[in-house]
Amino acid sequence: MTEFAESRGHVGTNDGAARRARRHAAERRFRLYGILAIVVAVSFLVLLLGSIAVQGYTAFTATQIRLDVTFEPEVIDPEGTGDPELWAGADYGALIRHSLGARFPGVREPEEVRALMALISSGARFDLRDMVLDDPGLIGTTRSVWLPAAADIDMLVKGITPRDVPEDARRVKDNQIAWLDALVAEGAVKRALHLRFFTAGDSRTPERAGIWGAIVGSFYTMMVTLALAFPIGVLTAVYLEEFAPKNRWTDLVEININNLAAVPSIVFGLLGLAVFLNVYHLPRSAPVVGGMTLALMTLPTIIIATRSALAAVPPSLREAALAIGASPLQVVMHHTLPAAMPGVLTGTIIGMARALGETAPLLMIGMVAFIADIPGGPSDPATVLPVQVFLWAGSPERAFAEKTAAATLVLLVFLIAMNGLAVYLRKKFEKRW
């Protein structure tokens, strides 16, 4: 190598050596710029993901407080009817009040009692109710029960809100901190896995809010989007690429599809509002409408990806099939489309991933409403993951900031899973050839 270079060098005299040195330096510089660019990009990504993860991971655990709760028959079933229907309506808050009263006998003032009660999540009584309805045998017994702490207490225990600021700058007051510390001292406070975050719908109380409603809503929305956008998009692309005559009309259609891909997504939301809601009176806030709107947005992506995948199939494959008497439809179905499938699927999944992360058009069609129930079908009111993130990000409580980051993490996990699926499918379909 060097010998060759030297033998070339003396033919061109010193000039050649200098030029070679310059060229090598230029190449090294270029490689360096490339590596620098990658380092910058990767560090931004790490910073972004890292900050979300650091903010969000605490939402996967929650503080719980242990109380000795007596399931008093006088409270649960004051008239002694034994009717479970009536038990459901009983005042379970009283059980918590009595239990806390027994633990802190000195607290008498109504004001103070309210502050003491505020240690425990306001939703804890529903947990007690569910325990009783599940197991009526509890009535009349005393049990040691772990109840969810209120969000403010949770934040304090996790160290997210500070203790060492003046009392009036804190939501948790001095007396509450004292009670909490007493409970901590006797081991009645712990942090446990917060499963509720993954199984509950939205709630006004941060410690009861979960992401399952949004996941189900996103699922229905994506199903509607896929069911509409995939077949329509692929058929459109196949027609335009394989069958349509090349004339002014098809040129016009093509230009418009390319333009649609660049239209801001909120415009599709306006269209959905004007057409699906105002003209056809489809249900508001429903995944059907969200899915239809997102399908409009995803269509151009799928069409363009499918067309370029079809165009990349070598013409010799079509000719081979045509020449042994395959009809144009058979050529497409048996040869061109299967050969283009990896590209089609990649395009579809990328389009779907974009739709999954989309918020703006869904705001226009009312999927931004507060919905606590888990949607039971595509026409029930629902919200979706990114909108849930948006809603929580707008809530003033400190505890929702943690939920926001956690929901973003969940959304990212889904997006990464979809991209992984795209890679897997591409590999799998390519292997067949």
Partner 1 sequence: MEAQTALIGHNRPADATPVKMATRDLDVSYGAIQALAGVELDIRENEVTALIGPSGCGKTTFLRCLNRMNDTIEGCVVSGLVTLDGHDIYDRSLDVVQLRARIGMVFQKPNPFPKSIYDNAAYGPRIHGLAANRDELDEIVVTSLEKAGLWKEVRDRMGEPGTSLSGGQQQRLCIARAIAVSPEVILMDEPCSALDPIATARIEELIDELRENYTIVIVTHNMQQAARVSQRTAFFHLGQVVEMGDTVELFTNPQDERTQGYITGRFG
For partner 1, the binding residues in 285-324 under the rule CB under 8 A are: 314, 316-324
The DSSP code for 168 is G
Q: Does 248 bind partner 1 (CB under 8 A)?
A: no
Phi-psi region of 234 (alpha: psi -120 to 50; beta: other; left: phi over 0): alpha
Q: What are the strands of the beta sheet with 142-148, ordered from one edge?
A: 142-148, 61-70, 189-193
Number of residues binding to partner 1, judged by CB under 8 A: 20
List C-alpha distances in Å: 259 to 79, 330, 356: 71, 31, 21
| Minimum CB distance to partner 1 smaller for 185 or for 324 | 324
Q: Min. distance of Cβ 326 from partner 1 in angstroms? A: 6
* Nearest CA among 58, 92, 59, 51 for reference residue 75: 92
Widest distance between CA atoms in the chain: 112
262 binds partner 1 (CB under 8 A): no
Kindly state whether residue 246 participates in binding partner 1, applying the rule CB under 8 A. yes
* Residue closer to partner 1, measured from CB, 145 or 340: 340
CB of 324 to partner 1, least distance (A): 4
Q: Contact region for partner 1 (CB under 8 A) — 16-24, 26-34, 329-337, 418-426?
A: 329-337
Segment interacting with partner 1, rule: CB under 8 A, options 108-116, 268-276, 332-340, 364-372: 332-340
Measured distance CA(270)–CA(182) in Å, rounded: 56
Burial of 117 (0-12, 13-18, 19+ CB in 10 A): middle
* Strand partners for 145: 67
> Would you give the binding string for partner 1 spanning residues 156-185, x where CB under 8 A is met?
------------------------------
Q: What is the DSSP letter of 120?
A: B
Pick the piece of the chain touching partner 1 (CB under 8 A) from 82-90, 141-149, 186-194, 325-333: 325-333
User: In the range 338-357, which residues lie near partner 1 by CB under 8 A?
Assistant: 339
Distance CA 293, CA 359 (A): 11
CB-based contacts of 401: which residues, under 8 Å, 6+ apart?
55, 392, 393
In the complex with partner 1, which residue's Cβ is closer, 338 or 357? 338
SS3 of residue 65 by DSSP:
strand
Q: How far is the CB of 316 from partner 1 (least distance, A)?
A: 4
Pairing of strands 189-193, 142-148: unpaired
Of 21 and 320, which has the nearer Cβ to partner 1?
Answer: 320
**Given the complex with partner 1, which of 93 and 338 has the nearer CB atom?**
338
- Beta carbon of residue 334, minimum distance to partner 1 (angstroms, whole number): 7
Does the footprint of partner 1 cover residue 325 (CB under 8 A)?
A: yes
Q: Which residues pair with 193 in a beta bridge?
A: 61
Among 327, 370, 377, 413, interactor with partner 1 by CB under 8 A: 327
Reported as type and span, the H/E element at residue 323 is helix 315-323
Site for partner 1, rule CB under 8 A: 246, 314, 316-327, 330, 334-335, 339, 432-433
